[in-house]
Amino acid sequence: MMAMLRAAEVKPDVWWVGGIDWNERNFHGYTTERGSTYNAYLILDEKTTLVDTCKGGFAQEMMERIRTIIDPAEISYIIANHVEMDHSGALPVVAKACPNAQIVCSSPQGLKGLSAHYGENFNFLPVKSGATLSIGKRTLQFVHTPMVHWPDNMVTYSAYDKVLFSNDAFGQHFASSKRFDDEVGLPEVMAQAKKYYANIVMPYGKNVRAALDGLAGLEFDMIAPSHGVIWRSHVKDVLEKYALWCSGEAEEYALVIYDSMWHTTEAMARAITEAFMEVGIPARLFDLKANHMSDIMTEVLSARYIAVGSPTLNKQMMPTVAAFLCYMKGLAPEGRVGIPFGSYGWMQAGPKDVAAALEACKFQLPCGVITHQWVETPEGLDAVRDAVMAAIGPLHDEAR
């Protein structure tokens, strides 16, 4: 028997009733070392409303929390802010337990997506952006936020409670027994929010900017996302970070990312790291054998300079490097300076493949391709360092 699961009141008559996924460690290739939550919120009013559901495997956990507050059959509305199955997977279970409830979703994209996933035999209530829904003393407002991060996304706003139910925006993959940002500490929450943005939301910066503009007229002192903890003490901080991250502005900060077979590319990577340091640019070194690409992407969100190195293996770059470059291209960081490099024996294909991939990311390549044949030598490594310093130094001077 499981212990009784409890809901948590986050505002008067507004309850968290979600699920905690303590053991989630991978979300579409993104490592979730702190697990996650699938947040749902129950609003008690004349017409009781459930905002979001959860991943299918957590449906019973969510329903048990709801039953500690009310009989689910009393729910009048189920708001589906997003179609993706970590949010909507429990919808069939919830709809069965709430036979009189209408399912509110965005129009037309939410309706299309939910119908495709679960069929059309549901009591859907599609809404346009800006539409409102009276549930008693509260009037809920819906704001579409397309491509943050699917076409159907929307947020729900309760002016009465001053709460923004933000769905994926401002979320974190972070499992906790606590529900609020100030209960777990800002550094941890913000680090997880940054990783979430970098690995999920980064390609949609323009859409995030549009969403922030669309929310500008709303007054709220709490952001209740669908993953992680609820923002109540650091609302301003996370709004400022989202404004920064979606701007695409990068810091004078360098990453050197590589894999190596017999340590020559590794030696080049270390020489390049030293070159950045010598011109006054903070730098970090990442061996792809020791660092997951989703953690590296969290740093890419802030870094202007991205050096990527590979030797040649089977007439191409190493698979680890190719996988990272493919992942990074999909997340579409903009305005970066790239430095392709690597060693080779009888064929320069690996470093050249890296250069082509960085060009496909639309990176500026001021050094061309930096290569070294066979094993490293002090003279060769000095030449690598000098080439990077000569190319990067003027760019850094311009930025200061």
Residues forming the active site: 28, 82, 84, 86, 149, 168, 196, 227
Quick one: which of 354, 255, 248, 270 has its CA closest to 305?
255
* Distance from C-alpha of 22 to C-alpha of 4, rounded to nearest angstrom: 17
Record the tokens describing residue 201, joined without a space: 């939301």
Record the tokens describing residue 341, joined without a space: 């490099």
Reduce the DSSP state of residue 256 to 3 states and report it: strand
**Over 184-209, what HEC string results?**
HCHHHHHHHHHHHHHHHHHHHHHHHH
CB 284 within 8 A of CB 296: no
**Residue 377 falls in which region: left (phi positive, over 0), alpha (psi -120 to 50) or beta:** beta
Query: Which spans in 40-185 are helix H?
Result: 59-67, 85-88, 91-97, 109-118, 181-184
CB 34 within 8 A of CB 192: yes
CB 15 within 8 A of CB 41: yes
The label of the residue with tokens 């909507």 reads 88
Reduce the DSSP state of residue 307 to 3 states and report it: strand
- Number of alpha carbons in the 13 Å side-chain half-sphere of residue 8: 15
Quick one: which of 106, 115, 90 has its CA closest to 141?
106
Type of residue found at 7: A
Reported as type and span, the H/E element at residue 266 is helix 264-278
Record the tokens describing residue 170, joined without a space: 């401002």
